[in-house]
A and B are shown apart, each in its own frame.
Chain A
Amino acid sequence: METINKQQKRRSRIFSAEARVAYICLIPAFLGLIFLTYLPLVGVLGISLTNWTGLKSPVFIGFDNYIKIFTTDPYIKDSIISTIYYAALSVAGSMIYSLFIALLLNRKIPARGFFRAVFYVPYVLPAAAIYVGWSWLYEGNFGFFNYVLSELGLKKILFIADSSFVVPSLSMISVWLAGNLIVIFLAGLQNVPAVYHEAAEVDGAGGWKRFRHITLPCMTPIIFYNLLMSLIANLQVVTPALALTNGGPGNSSRFLTYLMYDQAFVNYKLGYACATTLIIFAILAVFTTLLFRTSGRWIYNEGGDDK
């Protein structure tokens, strides 16, 4: 009797109006999760174990692709180095720049909204156009930066056409694009309780001390969020290589995602490219895990855990 009751209850739960509505609402998400996320994830694993080129039917070759990548691939090492180099410069640069600008904008200055808009505007421009536009600023003879260099009496630099300058040059663009980080930091700063500052001021704490012991600790969760987001985004960098450098000069901007693009969509080595994909995924996973692991040590949680 009891079991029947339970079953009935259960059935009514599944077919209750509420649940029915929920399932209807979730149809899109179901489709997305199955066909756009988890099946492709299985797919990428599967394809990476084949020699598929898209023409002949794929043949299972075990871990050959992975072995090849680590032993004979001419690009992978440079690619990993340039990607990490780019991500490190971009993340560090944009974090420092955006926190600095946010701190300035957090003071009572006139036309704050206007300035916030100015710093934010690069973020809403289409990325392809930004890189094309900046390529003119970086131009080797008549570009603006070379004009400044020659005014300062320095030698001209080819910037994006010079293998040792291309990554820092591209990173600088990504720092310039950090408008959304500024807005998030600014919101965080406005949430730092003013009482703390007032209390510290009564105790005679100066500007730097208050920043170091009040603002910074209160901001750590937001710093973590921005750090995570910009790390993930910058490690997947591909647009500058597609729009501007084609991985060059040499292999100096052959970022990992571009390498994958090149293998899959230029050379049609689909199996091989899938193996590269998973290696990129592993690298991303290592960095995000590291960030999460160390986060407990420096994130200050006001009032303990809130969830």
Chain B
Amino acid sequence: MSVAAYGRLRSKKRRNRTMNLITFVVVVLFAILAIFPIWWIFRTSLMTNAEIYKYPPSLIPDHWLFSNYEKTLKVFKFWKYLWNTMVIIVPSCLAGTFTATLCGYAFARLRFHGKSLIWALCVGSMLLPAMVTLIPLYIGWTRGLGFNDSYWPLILPYFCGGGAFNIFLIRQFIMSIPRELDQAATIDGAGYFRILFSIIMPAIRPAMIVVALFIFIGLWNDLLQQMIYINSSDKYTIALGLTNFRGQLKSDWSLTMAATCLSFAPGVIFYLIGQRYFVEGITLTGLKN
């Protein structure tokens, strides 16, 4: 290597290092900005009302008033709401993931009459925004089947394939698995269900976890349907309970923020546990389409 080339390489390396340093600083700044709202909400939840209205406001509470949480829990029935939310989410996630896997398997691997038609209907339903069918479904569930003030209208749809998008995702994933595996099992005398359960399912575990996570987030955020189908306060989910709680305690910001932080907690914990799959899964949806 000539001296000049060596010098160029070194200066390039140095330039790269300074660029990386600048990038790092900018990332740190933005990360602080991104996390700041959560911190501000959290520190408010630990303050007295006097401290909240102090000027200038302090970034860190003087006394960490965890008693605010005790007070909040007396009015905001967090554990009840969490339980109610889980009663909706857990069966939905399980059923949605399982039925989406069944359907994805049929579309990816099996030959049958009318496949292209059913597939077209499935893909077509993906383009249909959820709000379009909201009112007829509401009428069907409440008038037709009598599910008033019930969780069933929120859960049962997930027993029907878990949504076209999730079926699509599973199908794409199964199609990326070599067929030789199934064929070898067929020669060994395994039936189609055996192949699904003992070969396909273990192989697509990441995709199944992703589907479960999507269903989780979808239900977690779906305030509209929860508002429509749930009426009585002892059936409230976290989202409903919090919206309602805020209405009651409009001016007591520290308690409202404590309730908000409580509502944040399950999502954060869930995310920390499943972080790897979250990232993998979201990545997967973006690239497979």
> Contact between A238 and B37 (Cβ–Cβ < 8 Å)?
no
Interface residue? A144 (CB, 8 A): yes
On chain B, the residues within 8 Å of A124 by CB distance are 217, 220, 267-268, 270-271, 278
Interface residue? B202 (CB, 8 A): no
> Contact between B105 and A31 (Cβ–Cβ < 8 Å)?
no
Instruction: Report whether over half of chain A's contact residues are helix, strand or loop; otherwise say mixed.
Output: helix
Q: Mark B90-127, 1 if CB is under 8 A from A, else 0.
A: 00000000010011011000111101001001100101
On chain B, the residues within 8 Å of A120 by CB distance are 271, 278-279
* Given A28-B103, A184-B283, A239-B223: A125 and B264 interface contact (C-beta under 8 Å): yes
On chain A, the residues within 8 Å of B264 by CB distance are 125-126, 129, 133
In the bound assembly, the distance between CA atoms of A292 and B286 in angstroms comes to 17
Residue from A129, A151, A188, A242 within 8 A of B287 (CB atoms): A188
Which A residues, 33 to 77, have Cβ-Cβ distances below 8 Å to chain B?
33, 35-41, 43-44, 47, 54
Interface size class of A (residues with CB under 8 A): 35 or more
In the bound assembly, the distance between CA atoms of A26 and B106 in angstroms comes to 7
On chain A, the residues within 8 Å of B257 by CB distance are 133, 136
On chain A, the residues within 8 Å of B256 by CB distance are 132, 136
Chain A residue nearest in CB terms to B167: A29
Which B residues, 1 to 48, have Cβ-Cβ distances below 8 Å to chain A?
19-20, 23-24, 26-27, 30-31, 34-35, 37-38, 40-41, 44
On chain A, the residues within 8 Å of B279 by CB distance are 116, 120, 183
In the bound assembly, the distance between CA atoms of A307 and B8 in angstroms comes to 44
> Contact between A180 and B282 (Cβ–Cβ < 8 Å)?
yes
In the bound assembly, the distance between CA atoms of A187 and B289 in angstroms comes to 13
Nearest 9 Cβ contacts at the A-B interface: A32-B160, A43-B136, A184-B286, A40-B136, A40-B133, A187-B283, A128-B239, A129-B263, A19-B112
Nearest chain B CB to A117 CB, angstrom units: 6
Interface size class of B (residues with CB under 8 A): 35 or more
In the bound assembly, the distance between CA atoms of A184 and B243 in angstroms comes to 31
On chain B, the residues within 8 Å of A183 by CB distance are 278-279, 282-283, 286
> Contact between B263 and A232 (Cβ–Cβ < 8 Å)?
no
> Contact between B131 and A38 (Cβ–Cβ < 8 Å)?
no
> Contact between B161 and A28 (Cβ–Cβ < 8 Å)?
yes
Q: Mark A108-130, 1 if CB is under 8 A from B, else 0.
A: 11100001111111111111110
Nearest chain B CB to A242 CB, angstrom units: 5
Number of contacts between A and B (CB, 8 Å)? Answer: 278
On chain B, the residues within 8 Å of A85 by CB distance are none
On chain A, the residues within 8 Å of B37 by CB distance are 133-134, 137, 176
* Given A29-B122, A180-B282: A129 and B242 interface contact (C-beta under 8 Å): yes
Interface residue? A23 (CB, 8 A): yes
Nearest chain A CB to B226 CB, angstrom units: 9
Q: Mark A263-292, 1 if CB is under 8 A from B, else 0.
A: 011000010011001101100100010000
Chain B residue nearest in CB terms to A129: B263
* Given A32-B160, A33-B122, A110-B24: A22 and B286 interface contact (C-beta under 8 Å): no
> Contact between B246 and A40 (Cβ–Cβ < 8 Å)?
no
In the bound assembly, the distance between CA atoms of A187 and B282 in angstroms comes to 9
Q: List 19 A-B contacts (CB under 8 A).
A: A26-B102, A32-B157, A33-B122, A37-B121, A37-B133, A40-B137, A105-B27, A119-B30, A124-B217, A124-B268, A133-B264, A136-B257, A137-B40, A184-B282, A243-B246, A260-B134, A261-B224, A264-B138, A265-B138
